Amino acid sequence: MRDLVIPAPALPTVPTSTGGRFPVRRVFCVSRNYAAHAREMGHDPDREPPFFFTKPADAVVVDDADTPYPTMTDRLEHEVELVVAIGTGGSDLAVDDALGHVWGYAVGLDLTRRDLQAEAKRLGRPWDTAKGFDASAPIGALTPAAGVDPTTGTIELRVNGDLRQSGDLADQIWSVAETIAELSRFVTLAPGDLLMTGTPEGVGVLDRGDVLDGTIAGVGSVRTRIV
């Protein structure tokens, strides 16, 4: 192997409830996977198949660290989501087999520069700068899959103690298994991949100093402060 011309970047990792660290390879996100949220964003959930976007692996914020308010936006918004961690890879997975490829689950936040996203939509441009910016994916500790039912459970987000988002995993348009199988048709999933599975209704604006507490029953929590 040839010598590296610059130091190798540090490998992003997410803590686990078992005490180890989960290395992050890629971060995929599915959009508008709860009917009420799709409607609040002006879309018809009965007519749209799932579609995906990505965040950089090093966009994760872990261990309850603070999250810096991003540049180039006046409208940072929160989206609380179930995060799926892939433990064994594959392509063109069957729905019935998909959950067998999951290492664990966590609670995450898909932070969004909503003003940049709206402009990108208007111009027909990609969402990269709206979704894939630095520190755009705070994630809590992963719980091993054996202890989690990803088909049901209350999902909530509180900001400064006030309830902002509340729903149930059962409200997902596409189940976790269906979402994994669909994504595996487009890319070959690999160990270390994360999948953020969409958010319930109630997304809203964040300000510097806001403290976010996300929870999913049976999964865990995530906490961060916008600074």
Considering only residues 31 and 100, tell me which one the structure prediction assigns the higher pLDDT: 100
Q: What are the pLDDT digits (tens) for 48-88?
A: 778 899 999 999 999 999 999 999 999 999 999 999 999 99
Quick count: other Cβ atoms within 10 Å of Cβ 191?
Answer: 14
Beta carbons within 8 Å of 182's beta carbon, 6+ residues apart = 49, 50, 174
pLDDT at 32 over 90: no
Structural domains of the chain ordered from first start: 15-225 (3.90.850.10)
What pLDDT is stored for residue 80 in this prediction? 97
In angstroms, the CA 72 to CA 165 distance is: 25
Radius of gyration, CA atoms only, the chain: 17
| C-alpha to C-alpha distance for 35 and 45, rounded to whole angstroms | 5
The model's pLDDT over 99-140, given as tens digits with 9 standing for 90+, comes to: 999 999 999 999 999 999 999 999 999 999 999 999 999 999
* 3-state SS class at 220: strand
Q: What percent of the chain has pLDDT over 70?
A: 94
Mean pLDDT of 130-156: 97
**How do strand 154-159 and strand 211-216 relate by DSSP bridges?**
antiparallel
Q: What is the pLDDT of residue 222?
A: 98
* 150 has pLDDT over 60: yes
Q: What is the pTM of this model?
A: 0.94
pLDDT, residue 38, reads 59
